[in-house]
Amino acid sequence: MPPDALPAAALARRTDPAGLGFATTADLEPLEGIVAQERAAEAVEFAIEMGRPGYNLFALGPEGIGKSTLVRTALERHAADAPVSDDLVYVHDFDHPQQPRALLLPAGQGVALAEAMERLIAELRGAIPAAFESDEYRTRREAIEEAFTEQRDAILAAFETKAKAAGLALVRTPVGIGLTAARDGEAIGTEEFSRLPEADQAAIRGALEGLEDELGGILARIRRSERDKHAQIRDLDRSVAASAVGHLLADVREASGALPPVMTWLADVEADIIAHAGEFVAASADGGAPIPPALRSAIGPEAISFRRYSVNVLVDRRGERGAPVIHEDNPTVANLVGRVEYVSTLGALTTDFTLIRAGALHRANGGYLMLDARKVLTMPFAWEGLKRALRSGELRIETPAQALGLMPTVTLEPAPVPIRTKVALVGDRTLYYLLCALDPEFLELFKVEADFEDELDRSADTETLYARLIATMVARAELRPLDVAAVARVIDEAVRRARDATKLSTQMRNLEDLLAEADVIAGRGGRTTVGPDDVKAALAARERRASRLKERTREAVARDIIRIATSGEAIGQVNGLSVLQLGDLEFATPSRITAAARFGAGDVVDIEREVELGGPIHSKGVLILAGFIGGRYARQATLSLQASLVFEQSYGGVEGDSASLAEACALLSAIGELPIRQSVAVTGSIDQFGGAQAVGGVNEKIEAFHEVCAARGLTGGQGVIIPASNVSHLMLRDDVVASVRDGRFSVWAIESVDEAMEILTGVSPGVRGEDARFDPGTVNARVEERLLDFAERARAQAKGA
């Protein structure tokens, strides 16, 4: 006997408002944490507590189930009890100007040091020029210069007397001091010298030869003396500058807390200021302001620049409590590992350590960094930059061009920074398993997976828990409270979203959206509490916004543009059901599946596959169907069947095996020449033994065929056949349940293709008797008889050949 149609009570398991035990969500205690994610929460806690390298976290699961919320909440809870991380500053390295030095300082010390250095430079701009303008400095410098001048003049005077005695004169020219012929103590020119007697000329030449060497020695002594003078002046300048700088730098040292890295750098600063004290004097002479950067670059590397004494604060922890928790929404490689900026100066790009900028890993150092896995993977070089930092334990600012060796110009190479950052990636399961398979470094760096549940078991306790979750979301978003019937309606939608009447969906994003939309509808009606009609209206409005294509499809069926029969009988033709996904809307549509059977070589041709419109899973279903036909009916003879299967009026791809049961029924009808009721649609897959197997989208499929039949008028003979294993998934709309309750529509749950054929044809399937034959007149008997006839014709044809 064919199975009875399912009762209306089996088509939807509604939530009983009376069993929830409250009036409105305002009566419920708020719920802490995320529902049904105990396993994921344990994994997150473990990753946070595990201090060893490589124990970073990957939170995986579908979108909208609260992954980011749970991870962020856990990170913030742990971060609150952790010590505050260090400030990060970059300073000029006086020994290696192209390699700025990184300093990690206690929280707040970075800005304090930067401000102290600003004050220091401002004070030095006044103090150093003042020191060099003091009477004491001028007196000491003048003494040095006078001593040199007196010594030089005395040496030259003695030599000049000697030269005069030899008939020579000492002359000073722009190029130096020299000797020339003289008469009466006065230098004479070349022409006058030529008129002198030969004896006098010879005497003068002899005297010149004798004194030139001596003059050279004297000039060398003067140059050495001048170098000594400059050295004394430099020592004086250094002494004066050191006295001006020393007490001011002492204040900076005291303000910095005597930190060793800072002390080392300040010693370098002091030495450089003393060595370049003249720059401060020059700046003062120029009106108290340093030469502009553009002009400084133009006049050369010796130009005045006080920026080298600045402190570039990349990370400032002032006011922070606990470790940082950073979420980088745009994880480009520059936003992750930092960057060096450039400025245009006289048509050229220039940079220095003050243009170094922090990345998310800098800001999260000593704490936690959350990233969207898909965004990181789609940003060029970002994934490799992140892995390199985690693998090496240090953060190096490097442009992609540098990493590829494509940076021909000189640029900065900031010193790397040691990092202690726990990274949490959030993504879907596909990304996680692809990374596991394709990136050999992934599991070394992300050893902890937090796998989030898509759904939770439905029970009275979990329904109450879900109600508290709804109340928490309503309170957090400051929405109107829901009455108990509205909560029951929301829970029913969560069950439907789970595609299983025994489960509840954990999709928090969809739930939040539904509550907000229902609140707006209640507000339009002037209600202070959201009721079940508001929830129902919100769901209907959501579907309407996305239903343009669905409506056009239904219109095409109603106008017979897409031919779908809902009455009468036909051989080799069955109404199948397929599901379409468009954005957040999922709907089904009937499809006419036809089969043709004739004598042939034993092939079952999948036309969709032949024209490359059928996907691999659909092709697999057709091959399983062919295996079922051969296994059941070709035991005594060769299968001499040529059959074809196709989705009529299908112009796009066909994928999935949920039509294989309908295809089996169409093929059996075509072989056995058995008329099939067109008022019944079929969904389900089959195995090689003819058993019916569960498929997805069963609710949408039943509702789609119900809509088509309702538009033409429900007769009571229409309905849908589904696998028995799909019964637990049923959560049909109220209108479909009402039609079944009133006897105007039916849903049958079957275990095998035989039961489906009996419902479709009204003919018993038949079983094999002791004679290995099926009962005469049954479905299987008629199919087998025709196949045996094909086999006999094949044998006869072979003999004739």
The radius of gyration of the chain from alpha carbons, rounded to an integer in Å, stands at: 47
Where is average pLDDT lowest: 24-38, 48-62, 417-431? 24-38
How confident is the model over 442-497, as pLDDT tens digits?
999 999 999 999 889 999 999 999 999 999 999 999 999 999 999 999 999 999 99
Q: What is the pLDDT of residues 647-663, one digit of tens each?
A: 998 888 888 889 999 99
Residues 6+ apart with CB under 8 A from 17: 484, 485, 487, 488
Query: What mean pLDDT do residues 701-705 have?
Result: 96
Q: DSSP per residue over 474-524, as a string?
A: HHHTTPPPBBHHHHHHHHHHHHHHHTSTTEEE--HHHHHHHHHHHHHHHHH
Q: Is the predicted pLDDT of residue 298 greater than 50, yes or no?
A: no
Per-residue pLDDT, averaged over 297-318, amounts to 72
Active site residues: 658, 701
Report pLDDT for 294.
44
The 10 Å Cβ neighbour count of residue 400 is 15
The residues spanned by each domain of the chain are 8-32+455-545, 37-60+325-452, 142-251+268-285, 552-800
Q: Give the integer Cα–Cα distance in Å for 514 and 674.
A: 48
AA identity, residue 287: G
Burial group, residue 785, by CB count within 10 angstroms (0-12, 13-18, 19+): middle
Lowest mean pLDDT among 88-102, 178-192, 667-681, 745-759: 178-192
Query: Over the chain, what is the mean pLDDT?
Result: 88
Q: Assess whether pLDDT exceeds 50 at residue 289.
A: no
* Chain Cα centroid distance, residue 161: 89
**pLDDT at 679 > cutoff 80:** yes
**Per-residue model confidence (pLDDT) at position 288:** 45
692 has which bridge partners? 686
Those residues with Cβ within 8 angstroms of residue 782's Cβ, 6 or more apart along the chain or in another chain: 672, 673, 674, 763
For residue 336, pLDDT over 90 is answered with yes
Give SS3 for 31.
coil
Q: Work out the end-to-end distance of the chain between its first and last CA atoms, rounded to an integer number of angstroms.
A: 46
AA identity, residue 798: A
Q: Using CA atoms, how far apart are residues 679 and 564, in angstroms rounded to an integer?
A: 10
Residue 286 has pLDDT above 60, yes or no: no
Residue 299 is predicted with a pLDDT of 39
Does domain 552-800 fall under CATH 1.10.600.10? My reply is no
- Residue 295 in this model has a pLDDT that exceeds 50: no
Q: Indicate the pLDDT class of residue 303, thresholds 50, 70 and 90.
A: very low
Percent of the chain with pLDDT over 90: 57
User: Token digits for 128?
Assistant: 């150093």
CA distances from residue 131 to 71, 134, 222, 272 in whole angstroms, order as listed? 60, 5, 30, 17
List pLDDT tens digits, range 400-425: 766 666 555 557 889 999 999 999 99
Looking at residue 1, its pLDDT comes to 63
Structurally, at CATH architecture level, domain 8-32+455-545 sits in Orthogonal Bundle (1.10)
Q: Which residues pair with 210 in a beta bridge?
A: none
In the prediction, which pLDDT does 291 show?
A: 46
- Per-residue pLDDT of 546-564, as tens digits, reads 889 899 999 999 999 999 9
- The arrangement of secondary structure in 37-60+325-452, i.e. its CATH architecture, is 3-Layer(aba) Sandwich (3.40)
Kindly report, residue by residue over 193-242, the tens digit of the pLDDT. 666 777 766 776 777 766 777 777 887 888 888 888 888 888 888 888 88
Kindly state the average pLDDT of the residues 295-299: 42
Q: What is the pLDDT of residue 663?
A: 94
pTM of the model: 0.80
In 3D, which of 141, 88, 31, 12 has the Cα closest to residue 475?
A: 31
Residue 293 has pLDDT above 60, yes or no: no
